[in-house]
Amino acid sequence: VQTYESIRHQTLNLCAPLTVEDHVVQPYDFVSPPKWHLGHTTWFFETFCLLPHYSMDAFDPHYGYIFNSYYESVGAHVPQNRRGVLSRPTLEDVRAYRAHVDARMREVWNDQPEWRQVVQLGLEHEQQHQELLLMDVKSILFAQPGKPTYAAVGEPGADIPRTSGWDKFAAGIYEVGFDGDGFSFDNEGPRHKVWLDEFSMAKALVTNGDWREFIEDSGYQRPELWLADGWRWVQERSILHPLYWTHSRGEQWCEYSLSRGLQPLHAENPVSHISYFEADAYARWRGCRLPTEAEWEVACGNQSCASHWQWTRSAYLPYPGYQAFAGAFAEYNGKFMNGQMVLRGGCFATPTGHYRPTYRNFYYPEMRWPFSSLRLAR
Amino acid sequence: VQTYESIRHQTLNLCAPLTVEDHVVQPYDFVSPPKWHLGHTTWFFETFCLLPHYSMDAFDPHYGYIFNSYYESVGAHVPQNRRGVLSRPTLEDVRAYRAHVDARMREVWNDQPEWRQVVQLGLEHEQQHQELLLMDVKSILFAQPGKPTYAAVGEPGADIPRTSGWDKFAAGIYEVGFDGDGFSFDNEGPRHKVWLDEFSMAKALVTNGDWREFIEDSGYQRPELWLADGWRWVQERSILHPLYWTHSRGEQWCEYSLSRGLQPLHAENPVSHISYFEADAYARWRGCRLPTEAEWEVACGNQSCASHWQWTRSAYLPYPGYQAFAGAFAEYNGKFMNGQMVLRGGCFATPTGHYRPTYRNFYYPEMRWPFSSLRLAR
Amino acid sequence: VQTYESIRHQTLNLCAPLTVEDHVVQPYDFVSPPKWHLGHTTWFFETFCLLPHYSMDAFDPHYGYIFNSYYESVGAHVPQNRRGVLSRPTLEDVRAYRAHVDARMREVWNDQPEWRQVVQLGLEHEQQHQELLLMDVKSILFAQPGKPTYAAVGEPGADIPRTSGWDKFAAGIYEVGFDGDGFSFDNEGPRHKVWLDEFSMAKALVTNGDWREFIEDSGYQRPELWLADGWRWVQERSILHPLYWTHSRGEQWCEYSLSRGLQPLHAENPVSHISYFEADAYARWRGCRLPTEAEWEVACGNQSCASHWQWTRSAYLPYPGYQAFAGAFAEYNGKFMNGQMVLRGGCFATPTGHYRPTYRNFYYPEMRWPFSSLRLAR
Amino acid sequence: VQTYESIRHQTLNLCAPLTVEDHVVQPYDFVSPPKWHLGHTTWFFETFCLLPHYSMDAFDPHYGYIFNSYYESVGAHVPQNRRGVLSRPTLEDVRAYRAHVDARMREVWNDQPEWRQVVQLGLEHEQQHQELLLMDVKSILFAQPGKPTYAAVGEPGADIPRTSGWDKFAAGIYEVGFDGDGFSFDNEGPRHKVWLDEFSMAKALVTNGDWREFIEDSGYQRPELWLADGWRWVQERSILHPLYWTHSRGEQWCEYSLSRGLQPLHAENPVSHISYFEADAYARWRGCRLPTEAEWEVACGNQSCASHWQWTRSAYLPYPGYQAFAGAFAEYNGKFMNGQMVLRGGCFATPTGHYRPTYRNFYYPEMRWPFSSLRLAR
């Protein structure tokens, strides 16, 4: 129960630097208000651990509708783009909801064996939302004209060791995917063989300084570097640089960070908040390519948690022999296996202990609010 | 200065029943968060009374951008549909802003003569926002799944005296529009002659019970009753009843009110929250029509403040000889003279003393969140 | 029957310079393919003159769906923006349809008395479509990269007599609207009294040269000249000059005309293809205003057919005592009385004999494909 | 040159049953008018074979803009969704353009060696457009209220041999992708090793009768069967059955075919015109899955040209070591490697000799106008 307490408490910790008002707003459809994250992660335990096993009433009859994210099998839910319209329940109400559910969880903790896996999934789920929370907080604070800072959160800085060069890997049959005793999401398995041709992987992530060269070489203006969908996106949105970069202080590039607000760009830091379209165009400009997720797992899976997520050129699709989780949890991962690209590697926002080498993250190719980065392959 | 204090205080009073979170959200593009109303009405005094006449800095350099509504001549502003994204300034910040500006206004109050008219306009402006605030609060609270109540606010109830029949008016030249010593908006003048043919005006407003008959006679399904734009609107939005009516408690019609939340429909109350399209279709169904604004002013202008605004069949256009306010205030009313219809009469939400018989309100014909109503003419 | 033959034949004449392909396309939702005009005007006679009075089958069971424009009371119809998808019936089929209906009309011509009014309405309707046809043909040909010419059609040229100065009119009661023995549309009546304050009307239409001055004085870049809806329209669409003006031959302004294709702008010609928003902004820039339709009718109604339609500042609304046509024809005009502005005066495209001083045309304020123009008032 | 003549002539043959008007219209953004296909395939030879090698003028200075599809490197082009607006050049003009280019090609035929590969690519390209032409013609004719037939085109019928059961394949390393002397598109290579786990492939395609069972088991109403993006698509578009199925003749299902128009559904025919989303949901409903493209190539690549294209569960991405064609042709395939799914197998509309086992077709997952089908794997 200590792990439970600790993880649950960490979510509140992450919200501590925010004002009440910061908890409420939703600047884009894909961003959720922090208040909603607090409620949704609690609803997960109430809905899947408590209500099915104990004769108790829901804390509030409306919360099932408000805090269900996308589980069609457990009923209707507020449309995702209307989460920022919910002034009620208030932050105080949601904290009371957390306290209530946590108290009940403690009471029944020892009954757990039959639903221990669900509790574990709930905690992994909460940790995923801790990452999302930081992504969303960054989007929310940057949307404010005053560009306020959040708090020190260990974003990668100039202290990253400088490396260069390539690691080379021989062709052959490799095994990738999860196969062990601990927890993993359904989409990480089963472990399976893949044939890989010989390939090389860059030791270092692409940096802000590298990216500035791409901009200065008119990278955003040259259609031959882009996928057709990416070129349309660049044109329609007038994309000229990574998200959170600005020219606001004269001619010097600035970058917004959670810890330090708007500040001059650090050329040595890994570039971040770039879309798959941008990552792919950059790699083509360098005469390289992005790695596949299998290549990445073989080459980088065992490194310590990296400073940023990394785009791969693999579409998010089921592994051979994929079995979705049972029941409502079949909706957890499997139904999103369309149109998204896989990212690999953890980042500063990944909770300690949450990362595994086989972890598959996934976003649509135009998404820029994740803490994304890229590593070249060839 | 007592009037100033009293009107300024009343805006805070109206917000008192709200939670912090209620101040932040924007359920529709045309709704403003209460926090924004509090800031914008303050910005009006700072921008037009204080900054041009005294060597002082703006309270915050971002507020000009955040709290300007639509005055192109005083600079850029947050797009209207992004007001609900602003978590900052917080409610507490905005209250401090109000206190600061009010303190400065008190200090310079006796200097006023040269800009007394601007102060008066600022107070009339604030009273307009008090009406808007109640419209917006109703929209915000109704958007919550729990449909919370707000507070007792004098909404019209079953105590309205029942009247029926028609008042008849002879053809002739009448005078309409403002011409007096007190305050009026530029769009109310100049007073001018109009020729009116003989007409009759219903003594009573159309009621909920009347409207239920329209619904039961398939009024929303009969294209011959509707304007073409209205019919398209009804079809595309699946409009079946006035805004804030629901069937949520079984078969009985309910209506949401600020004072009492969701409650069974009172048949005797005036119908409200209907669009111009609906008002026009209803009138046609009864074999009648809506009055023009000149007819309304002649027939109803001198009655005490009515229980609801009332749609007319007049487009919102300048009177003959119309002169816009000078300077930035030219943007106050004149630039909206396109595509909107005039409503006449005050309502329970109109601050005491704010209403004049010549007052012209105006909304787009599909708008339903005003406290609109209708009176038949023929 | 000679009038019938002549008017019907004139529609075919107008299509004679077109290729088969020109008859089919629909570059914008508000443009109809010429083939559709040919079919629709024929459907009008078949549906309202022949089918209700004689036991005959429709020429083709699909044509009621295809060629009905917007008459809800006679059944479903192809959505307006899908007319350009109809390759069938072919042009040849539609011509056969015209010949068939005309032959039947001739056969029953002497039976006419009981439905003579419908025949007359059908012919006036066809003449309205002859104007629309030229508007639509201009839009279609201009949408072709090669900008082909159509044919000589009497567009206004440098031979227009130059006038200047103002006509002044005294305040008083005037009568406007139709009241005579001949044909008029329902929206032109009843004739009724209006009070007009003293006003002056420019003798001449605004010219291309005048308009160039507006452009050179940054008229399209100054928000204070524009209605709010107009300013949004200008910004969103990047409007910088009247429709059909181009800079394509270097720095010189060119204008596309039906007779002469793309040619250098004639400064003395009346400006055309401007929206209400532009006309309104231009008038404000000149320190003037647009006339109301009553002023226009009093001042200009009796002049010979003008070279262009002219925007007024009057919204298209029913006259006092307005009675819609009976039956399906109630949909002819009345249901469009929302959101549109009135234009007065005929143009080179108006068929001889079709124009009356009381004629009311109407378009949405952003429309630019009519042969619109403007005359200043003050 | 005989092959050239024969392939070029076949495109005209395919257009022969169409009216002039059928050549012009574009019912959906993704459909091209037949006239445009005729011009674009000709522009390909003029632009890539003639103009770079001979001092000659383009046939028409506008055709480069009109008939370029998406080659950014050779200049601007008409937006894809505006192709249906082009009445000019006329069909006759386009035929003259074809004759002109064909004549020049004949003249210089013997110079070919240095650009023979481009000619071959141009012919393969023209054959691809022959398939597209039939897809587009079907869409165009079905969009007509009269649902006209096209011509006998060998669509699959009840004469397809009935098979059932599964073929099983052992796990191991396989080779897939093109590696030979003849022509192939860049996206088919290089030939490369893949590891495949053991799998089974259905011998037969899913039939209309099978699909009717899916409908009758509420397949379109059960979210658990669908990808999240697919479920949203089904809901928003009210998808209830494959494209070209109708209920128009009472309760019996009908299907529209090019050869026979609207006719009762043949239960034994392979189902067609289903999206990837539908194929994926159907497979899940049967407790199976779609094959990967590697599985398909191993299992089905060597069969004779199948009756329909077949969706795979593979995203359209580059093979390991993929090299795009050189120059402008780099845009031919590579830039579309995002968001689309691979289909394998030819169909009745595939020109003889055009099909290879390694051929990769690709469409967005919601597309239904291709002659798509599906085969189950497990």
**DSSP 8-state symbol, D110:** G
DSSP-derived 3-state class of residue A176: strand
Tens of pLDDT, residue by residue over D233-253, are 999 999 999 999 998 656 789
Query: Among B18-22, B282-286, C163-167, D186-190, whose mean pLDDT is lowest?
Result: C163-167
CB contact (8 A) between residue B87 and residue A24: yes
Nearest to D338 among A314, A318, A365 (CB): A365
pLDDT tens track for A49-83: 999 999 899 999 999 999 999 999 999 999 999 99
User: A19, A21, A28, A30: which to substitute to probe chain B, counting the most B Cβ within 10 Å?
Assistant: A21
Residue with tokens 């939005």: B237
First to last CA, chain A: 47
> Do residue A25 and residue B62 have CB atoms under 8 angstroms apart?
no
Express each pLDDT in A106-162 by its tens digit. Answer: 999 998 777 899 999 999 999 999 999 999 999 999 999 999 999 999 888 756 667
DSSP element (H, E) containing C344: strand C341-344
Are the CB atoms for D347 and D305 separated by under 8 Å? Answer: yes
Q: Which residues of B touch C (CB under 8 A)?
A: 70, 72-73, 173, 192-197, 223-224, 226-231, 276-277, 289, 313-315, 317-318, 320-321, 330-331, 335-339, 365
Out of D195, D197, D315, the one facing A315 most closely (by C-beta) is D315
Which of C335, C340, C342 is the best residue to mutate to test the B interface, defined by the most B CB atoms within 10 Å of its own CB? Answer: C335
Compute the nearest-CA separation of C144 from chain D (Å). 6
Q: What's residue D248's pLDDT?
A: 63
State residue C249's pLDDT score: 58
Taking the CA of residue C147 and the nearest CA in chain D, the distance in Å comes to: 9
- Mean pLDDT over D5-24 rounds to 98
Interface contact A78-B27, CB threshold 8 A: no
- Does the structure's ipTM exceed the value 0.85? yes
Greater model confidence, D181 or A17: A17
From B257, C231, B121, select the one nearest B129 (Cα to Cα).
B121
Of D26, D27, D145, Cβ closest to residue C65:
D145
Mean pLDDT of D322-344: 96
Quickly list DSSP for B120-188: HHHHHHHHHHHHHHHHHHHHHHHTSTT-----------TTSPP--SEEEE--EEEEES--SSS---GGG
Range C157-194 burial, b when 16+ CB lie within 10 A, else e = eeebeeeeebeebeeeebebbbeeeeebbbbbbeebbb
Strands C245-249, A361-363: parallel, antiparallel or unpaired by DSSP? unpaired
Residue showing tokens 């949307």: A143
pLDDT in tens, B56-84: 999 999 999 999 999 999 999 999 999 99
Under 8 Å CB-to-CB from C54, ≥6 apart: which residues? Answer: C104, C108
> Using the beta-carbon criterion (under 8 Å), do A336 and D228 form an inter-chain contact?
yes
pLDDT confidence of residue D301: 81
| Cβ–Cβ gap A226/D338 under 8 Å | no
Res A221 pLDDT > 60: yes
User: Range with the lowest mean pLDDT among A33-37, B151-155, C359-363, D21-25?
Assistant: B151-155
**A59 Cβ partners below 8 Å, 6+ apart?**
A46, A97, A100, A101
CB-nearest to B73 from C224, C227, C313 is C224
- C-beta separation of C129 from C350 below 8 A: no
- Whether chain C lies against chain A with 3 or more Cβ pairs closer than 8 A is no
| pLDDT of A307 above 70 | no
Kindly list the distances between the CA atom of residue D145 and the CA atoms of C90, D148, D149, D262, in Å, as whole numbers in the listed order: 13, 8, 12, 12
Nearest to D227 among A289, A315, A338 (CB): A338
Asked if residue A304 has pLDDT above 70, the reply is no
Q: Please tell me the distance from the alpha carbon of residue C225 to that of residue B72, in angstroms, as a whole number.
A: 11
Residue A249's pLDDT band, with cuts at 50, 70 and 90, is: low
Average predicted confidence (pLDDT) for chain A: 95
Type of residue at D317: L
pLDDT value for B304: 62
Specify the range with the lowest mean pLDDT, choosing from A110-119, B85-94, D19-28: A110-119
How many angstroms separate the CA atoms of C179 and C190, rounded? 7
Say which residue, B248 or D106, is predicted with more confidence. D106
Sheet with C361-363: strands ordered across: C361-363, C341-344, C309-315, C372-373
Best interface-test mutation with B: which of A59, A88, A137 has the largest number of B CBs within 10 A? A88
Say how far apart CA A223 and CA A234 lie, in whole Å.
10
Q: Which pLDDT score is estimated for B114?
A: 77
Question: Tokens for C293?
Answer: 């339709």
Cβ atoms A136, A21 nearer than 8 A: no
pLDDT on residue A326: 93
Side-chain half-sphere CA neighbours of D106 within 13 A:
10
Enumerate the residues of chain B whose CB falls inside 8 A of the CB of residue C315.
315, 317
What phi and psi, each to the nearest 5 degrees, are found at residue C200?
-125, 145
State the pLDDT at residue A1.
Answer: 86
- Cα Dmax for chain D: 65
What sign has the CA pseudo-torsion C110, C115, C116, C121? negative
Coil, helix or strand at residue A303: coil
- pLDDT bracket for residue B352 (50, 70, 90): confident
Chain C residues in contact with B365 (beta carbon < 8 A): 338-339
- pLDDT at position A15 is 98
Cβ pairs bridging A and B (under 8 Å)? 95
> Does the beta-carbon distance from B25 to A84 stay under 8 Å?
yes
How many CB pairs (< 8 A) connect C and D?
94
- Residue C200's SS3 state is strand
Q: Do B173 and C194 touch (CB under 8 A)?
A: no
What percent of chain A is modeled with pLDDT above 90? 88
Helix %, strand %, coil % for chain C, to 5?
40, 15, 45
Nearest alpha-carbon partner for A211 in A372, A37, A362: A372
Q: Alpha carbon of A148 to those of A145, A161, A261, B85, B87: distances in Å?
A: 8, 29, 6, 14, 11
Which H or E run includes A116?
helix A116-142
Model pLDDT for residues C128-150, shown as the tens digit of each residue: 999 999 999 999 999 999 999 99
Rounded Cα gap, residues B344 and B377, in angstroms: 14
Closest CB from B27, B35, B145 relative to A65: B145
pLDDT score of B307 more than 80: no
Q: With an 8 Å Cβ cutoff, are D19 and C143 in contact?
A: no
Spell out which chain C residues touch chain B, with contact meaning CB-CB distance below 8 angstroms: 70, 72-73, 173, 192-197, 223-224, 226-231, 276-277, 289, 313-315, 317-318, 320-321, 330-331, 335-339, 365
A62 vs B contacts (CB less than 8 Å) = 145-146
d(CA B224, CA C327): 10
**Contact criterion met (CB below 8 Å) for C197 and B193:** yes
For residue B174, the number of C-alpha atoms closer than 13 Å in the C-beta half-sphere is: 18
In this predicted model, what pLDDT tens digit does every residue of C301-313 receive, in sequence order? 877 656 679 999 9
Instruction: Locate the chain A residue with the closest alpha carbon to B34.
Output: A87
Measured distance CA(D53)–CA(D47) in Å, rounded: 10
What whole-number distance in Å separates Cα of residue D116 and Cα of residue D98? Answer: 19
- State residue C125's pLDDT score: 98
Q: A200: buried, middle or exposed (CB in 10 Å: 19+, 13-18, 0-12)? A: middle
Quick check: do A and D touch, 3+ CB pairs under 8 A? Answer: yes
Q: How confident is the model at residue B305 (pLDDT cuts 50, 70, 90)?
A: low
Instruction: Provide the pLDDT for residue D155.
Output: 87
Q: CA dist A209 to A155, A214, A291, B23, Å?
A: 17, 9, 21, 43
Q: How far is C170 from chain B (nearest CA, A)?
A: 14
In this predicted model, what pLDDT tens digit does every residue of C318-328 receive, in sequence order? 999 999 999 99
The overall average pLDDT reported for chain C is 95
A84 contacts on B by Cβ (under 8 Å): 25, 84-85
Nearest CA in chain B to A82: B27
CA distance A234 to chain D (A): 14
